[in-house]
Amino acid sequence: MDGTDLASVVTTKDRYEFESDGPDPLNPDEVIARPDLHVIAYDYGIKKNILRMLNSQGCRVTVVPAQTSAEDVLALKPDGVFLSNGPGDPEPVTYAQDNIRRLAGRTPIFGICLGHQLIGLALGGKTYKLKFGHHGGNHPVKCNDTGKVEITAHNHNFAVDPDSLNPSEVELTHVDLNDNTLEGLRHRTLPLFSVQYHPEASPGPHDSHYLFKDFRKMMEEWKG
């Protein structure tokens, strides 16, 4: 897996519009909001429930292949860009890192899992391979802003080295209480944030769903 770009293997070959097939089966009272924001989602191996969660926040979602250029994304006039989860080593996915650098500051960005790792690299940080990886649905993650602990789902083998990030530019927002690995970051001046874990999953069961609301709020403020 080291040195292997798997995102380009598993990504969609063609751009498409995602439409939710209804509310979360685990939350049948959920209301799917009428879309009034447009999100471009990079598919590095994206999960359907992430797309459904974006829909639930009133986002029309266009999914694009992993190697879609930043210029082509901006031409679609997004209100925000989402960077998905996916397999493999983030370091060789250099085209994604380049696109993130070109998009940063021009549109709000939210990344999950591989998307988080790619953001870390794009901001000048480094990643490393975990000895055993993080897998399962019972990882306690602390949100540094609130002090609250979220029970989260993990499925990754790489992590961002927090010491490699510039603290004057990047705020460390979440930490894994099992081993103190970095689980979330936010840029101090640009509309950009990410988490390593999977907030669309339901181990808490809904401890981390607020992140999708945070993304919507960021887009509203940027648009407003």
Predicted confidence at residue 122, as pLDDT, reads 98
Residue 166's domain comprises 7-26+33-223
Write the CATH number for 85: 3.40.50.880
Q: Is residue 1 part of a domain?
A: no
Predicted confidence at residue 222, as pLDDT, reads 96
Q: Is residue 134 part of a domain?
A: yes
Predicted confidence at residue 30, as pLDDT, reads 64
Q: Is residue 185 part of a domain?
A: yes
Q: For 96-110, what is the mean pLDDT?
A: 98
- Quick: pLDDT tens for 59-72: 999 999 999 999 99
Q: Is residue 21 part of a domain?
A: yes
- Quick: pLDDT tens for 194-212: 999 999 987 777 889 999 9
Query: For all residues of the chain together, what is the average pLDDT?
Result: 94
Predicted confidence at residue 23, as pLDDT, reads 65
Q: Is residue 132 part of a domain?
A: yes
Q: Is residue 2 part of a domain?
A: no
182/185 Cα distance (integer angstroms)? 8
List strands edge to edge, sheet with 109-112: 16-18, 59-65, 37-43, 80-83, 109-112, 192-195, 182-187, 170-176, 127-143, 149-160
pLDDT higher than 90, residue 21: no
Location of structure tokens 């829909």: 55
Give how many domains the chain has, as a whole number: 1
Positions marked active-site: 113, 198, 200
Query: Half-sphere exposure of 157 toward its Cβ, with a 13 Å CA cutoff?
Result: 13
